[in-house]
Homo-oligomer: A and B are copies of this chain.
Amino acid sequence: MNIFNELESQVQCYARSFPVVFERATGSTIVDAEGNEYLDFLAGAGSLNYGHNNPVMKAALIDYIKEDGITHSLDLHTKQKEKFLTAFNDYILKPRKLNYRVQFTGPTGTNAVEAALKIARKVTGRQNVIAFTNGFHGVSLGALALTGNQHHRGAAGVPLENVIRMPFAGYYGKETNTIQQIEKLFADQSSGIELPAAIILETVQGEGGLNVASVEWLKAVEALCRKYKVLLIVDDIQAGCGRTGTFFSFEPAGIKPDIVTLSKSLSGYGLPLAVTLIKPDYDQWEPGEHNGTFRGNNHAFLTAEVAIRHYWKDDSFAEEIQRKSSLISQQLKRILLEKGAPFMKVCGRGLMQGIDCRKGDLASLITESAFKRGLMIETGGSEGQVVKCLCPLTITDEEIKKALKILAESIEVSLQIHLKKVS
Contact = CB atoms under 8 A, between A and B. Distances in A.
Interface string A48-78: 1000110000100110011111111111111
Interface in A141-155: 141-143, 145, 147-155
Interface in A111-136: 111, 114, 117-118, 120-122, 127, 131-135
A382 B190 CA distance: 5
B271 A70 contact: no
A217 B53 CA distance: 49
Interface residues of A, number: 145
Contacts of A14: 74-76
Nearest to A288: B13
Nearest to A71: B270
Nearest to A207: B190
B190 A133 contact: yes
A164 B163 CA distance: 10
Contacts of A197: 157
Interface stretch (A165-173, A306-314, A315-323, A327-335): A165-173
Given A142-B141, A188-B133, A85 B293 contact: no
Contacts of A132: 192
Interface stretch (A97-105, A243-251, A396-404): A97-105
B133 A191 contact: yes
A165 to B, nearest CB: 4
A236 to B, nearest CB: 14
A141 B106 CA distance: 13
Interface of A: 2-4, 6-16, 18-26, 30, 33, 42, 44-48, 52-53, 58, 61-62, 65-79, 81-82, 85-86, 88-89, 101-104, 106-111, 114, 117-118, 120-122, 127, 131-135, 138-143, 145, 147-159, 161-165, 167, 171-172, 176, 181, 184-185, 188-194, 197, 208-209, 263-264, 269-272, 276, 278, 283, 285-294, 297, 299, 381-383
A356 to B, nearest CB: 14
Nearest to A80: B23
A7 B288 CA distance: 17
